[in-house]
Structure 1
Amino acid sequence: MSKRSTIVDIARVAGVTPKTVSRALNDAPHVSEAVRRKVKEAAAALDYHPNLAAQSLIARRSYLIGLTYERPSPSYVVELQNGALGRLENERYRLVVLPFNHVASRPEELGKLLLRAGLDGVLLAPPACDQPVLLDMIERQRLPYARITPHSDLDRGLVVAMDEVAAGHTVAAHILSLGHRRVGIILGDPSHAASRGRLEGYRQAFQDGAVTIDDSLVGTGDFTYDVGYRVALELLDRPVRPTAILAQNDDMAVAAIAAARDLGLSVPQDLSVAGFDNSEVSRTAWPPLTTVHQPVREMAWDAANRLIAMLDGDTDSDAPRRRDHLHELLVRASTAPPASTG
């Protein structure tokens, strides 16, 4: 097996010292462009690849960015990871994925996990982004962090947000505009602030339309398909069933479509269904799902980008610590006017 090339080999080929090679490869100042080019050409010729572990020891940094989230939708998680990984491509930083269940009931445990992981910084997705105990812990230890769609303490840390209330209002107003008045609602995990925000948006849309929400048609899910299916069956298996269902994510909405079919109902002829997230399952479902596009991938990319800028000292002191992203209603074939408005 041939020996891996080292900076000593590059120095010999380029005719410079190993220290100069190190500075040139790390784009440090006080290295001429001619020398920098010569060093990088020698590195390419020798097929040199830096040892990240050795770099970390020298710099006393891990170059690890953590991403922590709870277990919601697999599609949501994939979008989060792809967004963060997209930003880290061709960077010296690497992503460490740290899923953690029941964050709201044990934020201290998650804090200890993050602090033991040797991270340079961490991306906090819901519901970790809304846990003040966790934020207190990592702030005391000076661990840089960015929060993805938090709903509280928006002046803490780097914040990448979307207006969940406005998004909930948009999709509920669409359902009401079609003429639906008996509307079932499948809530997400109550420990997630997003669930409360979307429900508040629904309530505002119903109030604007002078329609009363029937609390007997509101069921609590947990953002998973299985629980969404069970709640949908409970809502539909009654003498006077809803003509539409608002589900707080796409997995539960697709579960509602499946429950309707198992009960012999057609979507959207007998039941309209709308979801939230615009995940992959919303586009492959049949019929394709009306949903709210939440730019998860873009927000994760943005959060990682801003965190890296902070870690590398490239952040403008006057730059806003919060950045908002827009939602979009995508009307597809799963929603239509009710067969009867009587």
Structure 2
Amino acid sequence: MNETDEKPKDDQQPTRRSTVTVHDVARLAGVSSMTVSRVVNGTKVREPLRVKVQAAVEELNYVPNVAARAARSGTNRIGVLFSNPRSSNLGDFLMGAFQQAGTDGTQIIVEPAAGHRHAVDAVRKLVEMGADGIILPPPLCDSLEALDVVWAAGIPALSFATADPRSHSSAVLIDDFEGARAMTRHLIELGHRDIAFVRGDPGHSPALRREEGFRAAMAEARVPIDRARLIDGMFTYRSGLDAGRQLLEVDPAERPSAVFASNDDMAAAITAVALGLGISVPGELSVAGFDDTPIASLMWPPLTTIHQPISEMASKAVEILGESVRHRRSGKEPLVRHHVCTFKLMHRGSTGPRA
């Protein structure tokens, strides 16, 4: 197929948007996206095509400078977003990402979502900055709008720590279902039957899978679940305080013997509420969490939790996305990989036999 045959099927002019992509230029010029890339990268094309592309670039105010320089140099530019600068996982994530980037020569572009009115605008910013691929963290990893922005730019996306990977984009994750089931089994093996579960943010897919794992383990052990023991949370310390008060500021006979919170921040808050009420942990109440963030080993008693290897996961995310970029540049089919890392149950001092 020659250059003049590579026209897109949609011959309508693109709608003007705040982010103009190479595909918009291709539609307006009536050529393929590859032809536009050749022109902006300085590769020789037929003069009539070059003129058409240049005219479309000027009409749409398309700015390819950063992306073009990166493509000519062969450097992979991976965009990394973070939504919560106070996240206890952020340090481990960046350490793993930068370590892998140093190994394979990838350039990491970091953009805080908190600096934008809408988190998806941070994704658009990375596209404008010439990212060759973008790692989407929670909760953007589950946002179809964010994925659409990346796909529309013609670059690969990777969903990080999602429990609902998409078939057309890569993902790095753990098995949240099995992790929650393992933790619930641990509590049941300790003799607990009256176990409360504190949910996470319903907009984040791991929260749903962790609840499913809890329910599965309880069903396998034929332990009924009291609806009053399913408490809403939002993965925040504050929501953990609210959950702890709801469960523990009652008559001692009405308290559960164990609480499984679907992340460590909420588990730490519940432990604080318990100790503030004079409830011994784990003597009178066992508390378990999920993720194994730094707070889990720094609090007292240290928290029994599911270890999620964030640094390893971030390193693998950069590796996979780098491979996807190289495949795309060589003209191969898009590379899609769903990599599942191994979790580990960390048995520490916050859980013990039922009193």
Question: TM-score if structure 1 supplies the norm length?
Answer: 0.75
1:223 matches 2:239: no
- The equivalent of 1:84 in structure 2 is 97
Correspondences of 1:69-218 after superposition (within 5 Å):
69-71=82-84, 74-89=87-102, 92-100=105-113, 108-218=120-230
Cα displacement string for residues 62-98 of structure 1 (whole angstroms, at most 9, x for unaligned residues): 8532222433972222222221112112654332333
For 1:91 and 1:318, locate their aligned partners in 2 and report how far apart those are by CA, in whole Å.
20
Computed over aligned residues only, the root mean square deviation of the Cα atoms, in angstroms, reads 3.0
What is the number of residues matched between the two proteins?
A: 286
Cα displacement string for residues 35-65 of structure 1 (whole angstroms, at most 9, x for unaligned residues): xxxxxxxxxxxxxxxxxx8x94782778532
Does the CA-based 8 Å contact 1:61-1:120 persist in structure 2? no
User: What is the DSSP-based 3-state SS (H/G/I as helix, E as strand, rest coil) of the residue aligned with 1:273?
Assistant: strand
* Residues 58 and 181 of structure 1, relative CA distance in 2, 3 Å threshold: closer
Identity %, equivalent residues: 32
- The equivalent of 2:322 in structure 1 is 308
1:312, CA displacement in angstroms?
3.5
User: What is the DSSP-based 3-state SS (H/G/I as helix, E as strand, rest coil) of the residue aligned with 2:88?
Assistant: helix
Structure 1 unaligned spans of 5+: 1-52
- The equivalent of 2:294 in structure 1 is 280
User: What is the DSSP-based 3-state SS (H/G/I as helix, E as strand, rest coil) of the residue aligned with 1:278?
Assistant: coil
1:151, CA displacement in angstroms?
2.8
* Residues 197 and 338 of structure 1, relative CA distance in 2, 3 Å threshold: same
For 2:143 and 2:183, locate their aligned partners in 1 and report how far apart those are by CA, in whole Å.
28
Cα displacement string for residues 287-335 of structure 1 (whole angstroms, at most 9, x for unaligned residues): 1111101111111100101112232349997977222211111111110
Identify the match of residue 328 of structure 1 among 341, 344, 349: 344
Does the CA-based 8 Å contact 2:89-2:310 persist in structure 1? yes
For 1:294 and 1:331, locate their aligned partners in 2 and report how far apart those are by CA, in whole Å.
14
Structure 2 unaligned spans of 5+: 1-65
* Residues 151 and 266 of structure 1, relative CA distance in 2, 3 Å threshold: same
* Residues 205 and 73 of structure 1, relative CA distance in 2, 3 Å threshold: farther
1:173, CA displacement in angstroms?
1.0
Which structure 1 residue ranges, 4+ long, deviate > 4 Å from structure 2? 60-63, 105-108, 313-320
What letter corresponds to residue 144 of structure 2 in structure 1? P
